Amino acid sequence: MARAEQTKGIRWRLWINLGLVCVALAVLVYTGRQVRRFVATDPRFTLAGPDDRGAGLTMDGVVHASRYRVLATFTSDFGRSVFLAPIAERRRRLLAIDWVRDASIARIWPNRMAVHIQERKPVAFVNLPVPDGRGSRVMLIDAEGVLLDPPPQSHFAFPVLSGISDVQSEPERRLRVQAMLRLMSDLGPLSKDVSEVNAAAPENLMIVTQVDGIALQLVMGNQRFSERVQNFIEHYPEIRRHSAGARAFDLRLDDRITAGTDTQ
């Protein structure tokens, strides 16, 4: 009999504990809903629009990207609680804006949002043929092979990178950009005179550079760029005497410099 009463008491305690847990869960759910309703409806958490005094959205890092497009990304969030803004979706839309490489968004208590933009950094100009085949359009390209429209009234001092087209994939363009950057880095101070790099064949680069005030085309290959150009410059007076009028030279052979651009 005593054992039966003991078992009955244990069961009652289990039911009581289970009931208390259910009550606690119900309180948590109710409290959570009330808190959510509070932060979603209380005017103290409302994001002020750009036309309001003390606008609630701040942005930094925007230089060449469209400030209008960045601001327009948050149009539906103005006048609503900052806690209702879908941060992941807003970031995805920011990344689709030209010149935006990365973006972060932070909610700032109680009613502000801060947007930080990391813009792409162009490294060269490219000339892309227009669809009708008449002429070309000038664009910029970054180290990742992304094509960028030049911003109005911008001034960049970059070489032209040829061998690039808009039908190439980003990895294909990236390969050519990286080849150009490797060449320019190896050239060091000599790179300041380079006006064009042809990376149509990344394993056999060509450059247009100024030597004694004359624009020359040099076939560089894929290594020892600085050494080859320095050697050419040192011997250019003699080369000029023997190859008067030549404007293209092949520097790929260690024991000779030949006039002409035959890259086969």
- Fold classified for 122-259: Rossmann fold (3.40.50)
State the average pLDDT over residues 119-126.
97
Confidence at residue 153, expressed as pLDDT on a 0 to 100 scale: 82
- Choose from 44-58, 127-141, 197-211 the range with maximum mean pLDDT: 197-211
Report pTM: 0.81
State the average pLDDT over residues 206-214.
96
Confidence at residue 38, expressed as pLDDT on a 0 to 100 scale: 44
Confidence at residue 70, expressed as pLDDT on a 0 to 100 scale: 96
Q: Per residue in 132-170, pLDDT tens?
A: 667 789 999 999 999 999 998 888 999 999 999 989 999
- Fold classified for 44-119: Ubiquitin-like (UB roll) (3.10.20)
Cis peptide bond upstream of 171, omega within 30: no
> What secondary structure, in 3-state letters, does the chain show?
CHHHHHHHHHHHHHHHHHHHHHHHHHHHHHHHHHHHHHHHHCHHHECCCCCCCCCCEEEECCCCCCHHHHHHCCHHHCCCEHHHCCHHHHHHHHHCCCCEEEEEEEEECCCEEEEEEEECCEEEEEEEECCCCCCEEEEEEECCCCEECCCCCCCCCCCEEECCCCCCCHHHHHHHHHHHHHHHHHHHHHHHHEEEEECCCCCCEEEEEEECCEEEEEEEECCCHHHHHHHHHHHHHHHHHHCCCCCEEECCCCCCCEECCCCC
- % of the chain at pLDDT higher than 70: 83
Which of 227 and 31 is assigned the larger pLDDT?
A: 227
Q: Examine the pLDDT at 208 and tell me if it is beyond 80.
A: yes
* Ranges of each domain in the chain: 2-41, 44-119, 122-259
Confidence at residue 50, expressed as pLDDT on a 0 to 100 scale: 76
Q: Examine the pLDDT at 248 and tell me if it is beyond 80.
A: yes
Q: Examine the pLDDT at 76 and tell me if it is beyond 70.
A: yes
Confidence at residue 254, expressed as pLDDT on a 0 to 100 scale: 84
State the average pLDDT over residues 207-213.
95
